[in-house]
Amino acid sequence: MNLPRIMFGACLLLAGPALSGCAIGLVKSLHNVSYLEQAPIPANTNSKPIERDVTRNVLLGFLNNTDFVDNGWKSFQKLCPNGTIMNPMVRHSTDLGFLAYKEQLHFSGTCVSNFEIE
C-alpha cells in the first residue's frame, strides 16, 4: 500500500469542496431593479435622498425570515415619517457562498416634505 498516494488523495478529497467554496463565494447576482418613472421634485419643498439596505442570510436553504422584504420596506418608510417618498427604487441581489447565500435589498428614493399629492 502506498501511504503518500493515499494521503495525497485524501487531501484532495477534503480540499476540493473548500476550494470550490472559495470560488463560489465570489459569485454575485443582480436579480431585479424596480423603479417608477422619475417624477420631478416640486419647487419650494424640503427634499433629501434616503437609502436603506436589508439582508437575509440563508444556510442550507433554510429560511428564518420570510418577511424581510416587508420589514425592509417598512424600515425604509420610517426614514420619511412626515413626508412623501418620491422616485422609489428597489434593487434585489444575491451573494452566493458555500452551502449558503445572502439576499440583499437596497431601497432608495427621495423624501419630500411640505408636499401633498393631488
| pLDDT the model gives residue 60 | 85
Q: Based on the number of CB atoms within 10 Å of its own CB, is 77 exposed (0-12), middle (13-18) or buried (19 or more)? A: middle
Residue 98 makes CB contacts below 8 A (sequence gap 6+) with 17, 18, 20, 21, 22, 24, 25
| pLDDT the model gives residue 77 | 94
Pull the grid cell for residue 26.
465570489
CA-closest candidate to residue 96, choices 69, 59, 54? 59
Q: Phi/psi class of residue 89: alpha, beta or left (left: φ > 0; alpha: ψ in -120 to 50)? A: beta
| pLDDT the model gives residue 20 | 46
The model carries a pTM of 0.67
Question: pLDDT 10s per residue in the chain (118 long)?
Answer: 555 555 555 544 555 544 444 444 556 666 677 766 678 887 778 889 999 999 988 888 777 777 888 999 999 999 999 888 988 998 888 888 888 888 899 999 999 986 555 5
